[in-house]
Amino acid sequence: MLDLKFVRENPEIVKENIKKKFQDNKLPMVDEVIALDVESRETKQKADNLRADRNKISKEIGGLMAKGKKEEAEELKLQVTKDSEMLAELEAKEAELEEKIKKIMMTLPNIIDPSVPIGKDDSENVEVQKYGEPVVPDFEIPYHTEIMEKFSGLDLESARKVAGNGFYYLMGDIARLHSAVISYARDFMINRGFTYCVPPFMIRSEVVTGVMSFAEMDAMMYKIEGEDLYLIGTSEHSMIGKFIDTILPESSLPQTLTSYSPCFRKEKGAHGIEERGVYRIHQFEKQEMIVVCKPEESPKWFDVLWQNTVDLFRSLDIPVRTLECCSGDLADLKVKSVDVEAWSPRQKKYFEVGSCSNLGEAQARRLKIRVNGEEGKYFAHTLNNTVVAPPRMLIAFLENNLNEDGSVNIPVALQPYMGGMTVIK
């Protein structure tokens, strides 16, 4: 969420940013919120003046009563009653205007970083760098569900009967591989100095609206009926929410945390053939990383976060690339974002396995996450990134480590988490 003072003083910058994000329908909101802000401040001033007058008159009434001038005092009491009625109207108007302003401010997109490429959608994202040599073997690689099913490792039919489409049973060595990847990712991040955390898997609405836009919430979140609780779509939500309405000592920054959680997503809409199986699902598990830091340090941490994911995938012999998200592909709260994509030998292309985002002070402003610095209080910057999210990540793992005989190699880094196994047969 932007600072209202910034919008008031820089309307053209805000409008230009909206144009860069191809959200021209939001352009009138800038002038609207500025006009509402003027009206709100005028209303507040009138209310403040009435309160001051009321206090002054109340003192005069006391003086008149002390002097026995009851009739004059009663007249002033009538004035106080009228002022109180008018004040109540002004306070109601204040609250109404504040709600209108908040609604618009929660809708206006964050100011993107100057380095972000301008483009309408993800088709215009820009490749930054490749890591590892993408290989296409000289034998046919089956679809990921076929690979898993040959190990008796996937049961989609039973899952459909139990929960519907978008769910799965992982079994045997495939289930063990899934857990091994999560455990390895946890230790990988701990070894990089991050504090491990298992957060709540449900959060209240004030946290939901603090960490994401309304559009994202509607498309992603499952609400618990009859409760002010939502199932998390990623542990970033509850991890950033951990700091809601807090004032952090500057000496405690940066806060670097890595978290495990199940994730639940609606995943609305139809998806292509390559998203069958366990590619796009309603439930999965993920290892996440988040950082809360000083504003001047967020660009550095942004690079650290996406590099962590690249390094983890390379340690498992999976070629990856980084992709800079263009302006139109950025969610409204994001300042800058990089996707990490893994190589698919079967598709002969890369596909997304993680996303790293710098949200500037947007989440901190919504959630009131402040820092007590030497020169006063200020809003922190927040960042997040996927460490690893199986079972989607398993698709890349299985395809890149598959042998012609159908066996799957286990990279050295993962072998201790698989009981010393070097290959799954």
The answer to whether 119 and 329 have CB atoms below 8 angstroms apart is yes
Cα R_g (the chain), whole angstroms? 27
Q: Look up residue 397 and give its two tokens.
A: 């793992």
Q: Is 354 annotated as a binding residue?
A: yes
The answer to whether 107 and 33 have CB atoms below 8 angstroms apart is no
Cβ burial 337-347 (10 Å sphere, 16+ → b, else e): bbbbbbbbbbe
Residue 264 half-sphere exposure, CB side, CA atoms within 13 Å?
Answer: 13
| Non-local CB neighbours of 123 within 8 Å, separated by 6+ positions | none
Q: Look up residue 283 and give its two tokens.
A: 């439930």
| Non-local CB neighbours of 401 within 8 Å, separated by 6+ positions | 316, 317, 408, 409, 410, 411
Q: Is 123 annotated as a binding residue?
A: no
Length of the chain: 425
Q: Is 288 annotated as a binding residue?
A: yes
Q: Is 355 annotated as a binding residue?
A: yes
Question: Can you say which residues are annotated as belonging to the binding site for L-serine?
Answer: 234, 265, 288, 384
Question: Can you say which residues are annotated as belonging to the binding site?
Answer: 234, 265-267, 288, 352-355, 384
Question: Can you say which residues are annotated as belonging to the binding site for ATP?
Answer: 265-267, 352-355
